[in-house]
Every structure is written in C-alpha cells, then in structure tokens.
Amino acid sequence: PLDHAYSLTTGTTSAELLRKLNEQRDIIALMEVKMKEMKATIRQLRVTEAKLQEEVRERDRLLSAGAAVKKM
C-alpha cells in the first residue's frame, strides 16, 4: 500500500511536471514570436526616425538658404 501510494504520487507528480513543462514551453514559444515582432517594430521605428531626422535637416537647409537670400 505504501509502495502503491508512493508510486501513484510519483506518477501524478511526473505527469503534473510534464504538463507544466509543456505549458511553459508554449509560453516560451509565444514570447519568442512576440519578441520577434517587437524587434521588427523597433527596427522599423529606427528607420522611420532616421528618415524623419533627414527630412528635418533638409528643411533646415532650405530655411537657411531662404534666410541667406533675404539677407542679400
């Protein structure tokens, strides 16, 4: 009876551990997908930032040129 109880408990525990292992594995897989998406978003936002900074510089050049013309 003791052996049986131990065996049963051990079996239940192993099954429970396996279930949790699989749950965690699924969570990790989902998080990896999410992180890939976030990395792509960050990459895209950095490209957009560089583009906008260039647009600001281009307009500043035009404004400087305009100011120089007015002074002439």
Q: Output the six-digit token pair for 37.
A: 């998406």
Contact between 41 and its own copies per CB under 8 A: yes
- For the CB of residue 1, give the shortest distance to its own copies in the complex, in Å: 14
Contact between 36 and its own copies per CB under 8 A: no
Which amino acid type is present at position 30? L
Torsion of Cα atoms, 51 then 56 then 58 then 60, to 10°: -170
Contact between 59 and its own copies per CB under 8 A: yes
- Mention every residue, 6+ apart, whose C-beta is less than 8 A from residue 60: none
Q: Quick one: which of 34, 68, 71, 72 contacts its own copies (CB under 8 A)?
A: 34
Residues near its own copies (CB under 8 A) are 3, 6-7, 10-11, 13-14, 17-18, 20-21, 24-25, 27-28, 31-32, 34-35, 38-39, 41-42, 45-46, 48-49, 52-53, 55-56, 59-60, 62-63, 66
